[in-house]
Amino acid sequence: AQSVTQLDSHVSVSEGTPVLLRCNYSSSYSPSLFWYVQHPNKGLQLLLKYTSAATLVKGINGFEAEFKKSETSFHLTKPSAHMSDAAEYFCVVSDQETSYDKVIFGPGTSLSVIP
């Protein structure tokens, strides 16, 4: 069965330092993978997605993620954190086994950015 693990429930970084949010997935098929961001009291917004094209995916606001099949990982990175990056981040997997119309959410990682 599919699953998504976000290895850290909370990450704290200083402004201007790199961000790394970790995601591992389980899938029997070639998955599509997504990262969403949720700012406080807001809905979710797509940051980036991987759909079997280039393994290094660039998203909005300077974020990027690399799909590593051998490690079943899809970690999210950003070279330099901004205060506006403080939010909840969700890793999501979708493949042919998830009933074609469902997706599997990870539990989320809360990112704090210290001035």
Partner 1 sequence: NAGVTQTPKFQVLKTGQSMTLQCAQDMNHNSMYWYRQDPGMGLRLIYYSASEGTTDKGEVPNGYNVSRLNKREFSLRLESAAPSQTSVYFCASRLAGGPSYEQYFGPGTRLTVT
- Interface contacts to partner 1, rule CB under 8 A: 9, 31-32, 34, 36, 41-46, 49, 51-52, 90, 94-96, 98-103, 105-108
Nearer to partner 1, 34 or 63 (CB): 34
CB of 115 to partner 1, least distance (A): 25
Cα–Cα distance measured from residue 70 to residue 87, given in angstroms and rounded to the nearest whole number: 29
CB of 14 to partner 1, least distance (A): 25
Cα–Cα distance measured from residue 46 to residue 60, given in angstroms and rounded to the nearest whole number: 8
Q: What does the radius of gyration of the chain's CA atoms come to, in whole angstroms?
A: 14
* Interior angle at CA 108, CA 30 and CA 2, nearest 5: 30
Nearer to partner 1, 60 or 79 (CB): 60
Within 13 Å of residue 111, how many CA atoms lie on the same side as its CB? Answer: 28
Nearer to partner 1, 24 or 94 (CB): 94
